[in-house]
Amino acid sequence: MITIKKDNQLISLHIEADLINTSDTRFDLQALKKSILTQLQNVYNKKIGKYDLQISFSIRVLKHIYQCSPKKVLLQVVNTIPGNNPAEADFKGLRIKLNKHYVTDIMANKNIRTIPHEIGHLLGWEHPHANAKYESVNLSAHPLEKQLTETERQCNLMSQSWYAQKAGVPLNKAMELTEKQIELLFLNEHKLSLNKNRHLNYFLWWKKIV
């Protein structure tokens, strides 16, 4: 569950999540949980323009699918993701799939960008640039996201890694957010467009991830 509260310029973001490994490789999920919490705190606890953003994030490590909550974000380690991407998220939804081949780097904090980026998609933020086109604007993005400057796109958390690299921006510097994205977060919360559960099917005695 993603909840957002606004008190003047203070934005409180709370996310409850489950973490499960459905891949064929064993991982220390407690270590992964610790790294995820650290990475999210580093990216989302900051002043963004006139807004003060604060995040609280709770993660429960699971052993079985039937323990998954339909109201919580599901962080799911999987064997493969199309294109061998590090992760993919259900846009405005409640699941992030993590490619098992990148989990070790996330745990070692060599990859500190993937998790915060995918959380951004759950919050309703698009890539601000066009697909596979440098110095471009994503015409399908929200009007607020289209207003980002080229410099803001190059340094933005929601730009894909190749975009920052093309601009010569180190990935650890391409972690910024803007006032426009925070304002879009308000709109998404106001319209009740977040927390869409599309990944759990219910049967008589058990659940199935789809």
Closest-CA residue to 76 (of 27, 116, 14): 27
> Residues 6 or more apart from 98 whose CB is under 8 A from it?
75, 76, 77, 78, 86, 87, 106, 114
Half-sphere exposure of 84 (CA within 13 A, CB side): 2
Residuewise pLDDT in 10s, the chain (210 residues): 999 998 889 999 999 999 999 999 999 999 999 999 999 999 999 999 999 999 999 999 999 988 999 999 999 999 999 999 999 999 999 999 999 999 999 999 999 999 999 999 999 999 999 998 999 999 999 999 999 999 999 999 999 999 999 999 999 999 999 999 999 999 999 899 999 999 988 887 788 888
CA angle 7, 8, 10 (to 5 degrees): 60
Three-class secondary structure of residue 14 per DSSP: strand
> Six-digit token pair at 185?
């977060």
Contact between 66 and 206 under an 8 Å Cβ cutoff? The reply is yes
Quote the pLDDT of residue 208: 85
pLDDT at 205: 76
Predicted confidence at residue 3, as pLDDT, reads 93
| Rounded Cα distance, 90 and 150, in Å | 26
Q: Tokens at residue 57, please?
A: 């994030």
pTM, 2 dp:
0.95
Q: What is the pLDDT of residue 68?
A: 93
Count of C-beta atoms within a 10 Å radius of residue 18: 20
What is the predicted pLDDT for the residue at 206? 81
Cα separation of 95 and 18, whole Å? Answer: 9
End-to-end Cα spacing for the chain: 19
Instruction: Reduce the DSSP state of residue 201 to 3 states and report it.
Output: strand
What DSSP designation does 74 have? E
